[in-house]
Structure 1
Amino acid sequence: MSDLAPHPPGGGPLPITRAGFVALAGRPNVGKSTLVNAIVGHKVAIVSDKPQTTRRAIRGVATTPECQLVLVDLPGVQRPRDALTTRMQRRVESELRDSDAALMIVNAEEGVGPGDRFIAQALAHAKVPVVIAVNKCDRLDKAGTLTALMDASTLEVGDDIFPISAKTGNGVLALTQHLRELVPLSPFFFPIEDNSDQSENVLLAELVREQVLRRTFQEVPHAVEVMIDDVEAVHEDLTRVRALVWVETESQKGILIGAQGKMIKAIGTAARKELQRELGTQVHLDLSVRVRRGWRGDDRLLDRLGIE
C-alpha cells in the first residue's frame, strides 16, 4: 500500500480510502478548467473564453480525509488538424483509457450540438462510468435549465446528469460527492498537500499565457505558447522569472508588443500579479517575445514545451 495514503496518529491500520482518476471531456469553452479549479479549491488550470486554452492534460488533485479525486482536465476533444492538435487528441484518448470515470460537460446556454454528440460517442466506448454536468446554469432561468437538462439526456451516455455553475459553485458539491462514490477503494496517489501534478515551471508558464489569451484576438491566441526560461530566488521576498513567449509570425510579435510596448507591459503587469499569488513572493518578470514559424507543427519544440 502506498506511503502517500494518510496515516493515523500513533500508527495502527490505515483508514479505508478511495482514490481515482476522473477525465473531464467537453467542447472547448464549456468551463472544464473553471470546474477543476472549483473542485480543487485552488487555481490549477487557466481560464479563457478562447478555444484550445487547455493544451495539456492537467491533473487537479482534490483530497479529503477519505477520498482523493485526480481530475484530468483534457484538451478540448476535437478532430486533429496539425501536430499540436494531433497530440492533444492522442492525449485525450490515452487519459480516457486510464481513468476510473468520465465527466462530460455541456454548455447549458448553447445546448447540445454535433460536437457534444461526437464527444459522447467517444465516451460511450471508454468503458468507464460517465456523468454529465450541464454547466453555466446560473445564466438560465428554471425553465431554461430544465430544457438544457432534457437536451443533455438525449446524448444517451451515462445515467446521471447534474445542473451546475462552475463559476458560482452551485451544484458543484453534489457533483463532487457523486464522483467520489465512483472511484475505487485505493490509497492516495499524491501527497495530501498537493493540488496538481504540474511542475512549477509549467504552471507559471500557463499563468503568463492566460494573460496573453485575455488580451489578444483572432489567430494570435492559438499561435502563442509560453516557456519559463529561468526562476531565480533573489532573496526570501523576491523571485525573478524569465519567460519566453513564442509566436509564429513577425506580425503576431508586433501585436503582442503593441504600440510603444503597451501590450506586453499590460500582459506583464497582469501576469506578475498571478505569479506573485502563486509563489507567495514579490516577482520581477522578464518577458521576451520570439518568432518560431510553424511551431505548432514542430515536434521537437512541442517536446520541449511538455505537450505530449
Structure 2
Amino acid sequence: MSDEQPTFRSGFACLVGRPNTGKSTLTNALVGAKIAIASSRPQTTRHTVRGIVNRPDAQLVMVDTPGLHKPRTLLGERLNDIVTTTLGEVDIVGVCMPADEKVGPGDRFLVAEVGKIRRRPTVAIATKADLVDPGRMAEHLLAIQQLGTDTGIEWDEIVPVSARVGQQVDLLADLLVGRLPEGPQLYPDGELTDEPEEVLVAELIREAALEGVRDELPHSIAVLVEEMGLREGRPENRPLLDIYANLYVERPSQKAIIIGAGGSRLRRVGTDARKQIEAILGTPVYLDLHIKVAKDWQRDPKQLRKLGF
C-alpha cells in the first residue's frame, strides 16, 4: 500500500462573460455562500470578488469579474481593464454564456479577448440551463463549440450548469479543481472571501438600491461606507455594528427616484440591505444611509478615485 499523501491543488479560476450572464450567482453557488452581489440588472459587479471553495483535496479561489462590454464611459473602461488584468493572472478561465440567449457578437468579442492572453485551461459554461429545453440546449452547446473553432480557442470542457437550481455545480467544481496546479492552501480554513468587510457592505447596499429602479439607474449608483464599527459601551452578548454610508447618484432627479414617495423606497433599501449585512456578518446592524449627488461621477477621474475605481 502506498504511503504517498494525496495531491493538494490550489489556484485561481476566473469567470468571465457579457454583463448579466450569471457569473455572480454561479460564484455564490460554488462557494456555498453569498459573497458576490447578483441582480437582475446588467453590470451589477464592479469589483473582482474572490470567493474561496474549500475542499479536503483543494482550495479553489473564484475571481468574479465585471461583465466585459464595449465601454461608453471612463468607468466602463476601468471595468474592462479589471477583467483583462484578471485574465492574465489566473490559472483557469470559465467563459459564461447563458443558454436562454443566442451566442452573439458580444460573446465573440469576449472569447477573442480571452484568446489574446497566454494559454491556460479554458472551460465554456452554459449558464441558466434550467431555463431551456434539451433541444435548445443542444443547439447552444453546438454554437459554443463552433465559437471556439472560429476564434481559435480550444475548450477543455463545455458544461451546462444552473446555479439557481444547483444543476451540475458540483461537477463544474470537480472539473475546475482537476485543472488546478499542485500547491499549498492559500487561505485559512473556513474563509469564504478576502473582500474587505466595508467593500462587501457597500456592495450589499448597492444591490438593495438596484432592485426595482429604472433601467438607466444602476450604472449611476455608487456606495461608499464612510464609517463602520462596533458601538462602544454595549454588553458583549449584545453587540451593535454602526454603519454610516453614502449612496451617490449623478443627478437630483435620480436622488428623488431612490428616495421614493415620502422616503418609502429609501427605507426599503435600508431594511433590505441591513438584513443582508446582518446575515453575512452575524451581528445586529444600525445602518445610516444618505443619498448624495456627484455630478457625472462615471466620467470624472477624481470622483472615480474617491469611489474606489
Question: Separation in 2 of the partners of 1:105 and 1:27?
Answer: 8
Equivalent in the alignment of 1:80 = 71
Question: Separation in 1 of the partners of 2:222 and 2:212?
Answer: 14
Amino acid corresponding to residue 90 of structure 1 in structure 2:
D
Give 1:284-295 correspondences, 5 Å limit: 284-295=286-297
Question: Separation in 2 of the partners of 1:245 and 1:34?
Answer: 24
Equivalent in the alignment of 1:143 = 135
Amino acid corresponding to residue 146 of structure 1 in structure 2:
A
How many Å apart are 1:218 and its aligned residue? 2.3
Question: Separation in 2 of the partners of 1:245 and 1:224?
Answer: 7
Q: Does 1:155 align with 2:147?
A: yes
Amino acid corresponding to residue 117 of structure 1 in structure 2:
R
Q: Does 1:129 align with 2:121?
A: yes
Decide which of 202, 205, 221 is 1:205's aligned counterpart.
Answer: 202
Task: Give the structure-1-normalised TM-score.
Answer: 0.92
Give 1:103-118 correspondences, 5 Å limit: 103-118=94-109
Equivalent in the alignment of 1:194 = 191
Query: Matched residue pairs, number?
Result: 295
Q: Does 1:22 align with 2:13?
A: yes
Question: Separation in 2 of the partners of 1:271 and 1:18?
Answer: 36
Q: Does 1:93 align with 2:84?
A: yes
* Identical counterparts, % of pairs: 39
Question: Separation in 2 of the partners of 1:151 and 1:172?
Answer: 22
How many Å apart are 1:175 and its aligned residue? 0.8
Instruction: Tell which deviates more after alignment, 293-302 or 93-102.
Output: 293-302
Secondary structure at the counterpart of residue 155 of structure 1: helix
Question: Separation in 1 of the partners of 2:178 and 2:303?
Answer: 40
- Relative to structure 1, the CA distance from residue 65 to residue 304 in structure 2 (aligned partners, 3 Å threshold; closer, same or farther) is farther
Secondary structure at the counterpart of residue 302 of structure 2: helix
Q: Does 1:305 align with 2:307?
A: yes
Question: Separation in 2 of the partners of 1:15 and 1:144?
Answer: 41
Asked whether the 8 Å contact 1:215–1:267 carries over to 2, the reply is no
Amino acid corresponding to residue 265 of structure 2 in structure 1:
M
Equivalent in the alignment of 2:260 = 258
Asked whether the 8 Å contact 1:242–1:286 carries over to 2, the reply is yes
Equivalent in the alignment of 2:59 = 68
How many Å apart are 1:166 and its aligned residue? 0.9
Question: Separation in 2 of the partners of 1:301 and 1:57?
Answer: 20
Asked whether the 8 Å contact 1:111–1:152 carries over to 2, the reply is no
How many Å apart are 1:284 and its aligned residue? 1.3
Structure 1: give runs of 5+ residues left out of the alignment. Answer: 1-12
Provide the alpha-carbon RMSD of the alignment: 1.5
Equivalent in the alignment of 1:34 = 25
Asked whether the 8 Å contact 1:96–1:102 carries over to 2, the reply is yes
Amino acid corresponding to residue 305 of structure 1 in structure 2:
L
How many Å apart are 1:57 and its aligned residue? 1.2
Q: Does 1:232 align with 2:229?
A: yes
Instruction: Tell which deviates more after alignment, 219-228 or 292-301.
Output: 292-301
How many Å apart are 1:34 and its aligned residue? 0.2
Secondary structure at the counterpart of residue 154 of structure 1: helix
Please identify runs of 4+ aligned residues in structure 1 that moved more than 4 A: none
Structure 2: give runs of 5+ residues left out of the alignment. Answer: none
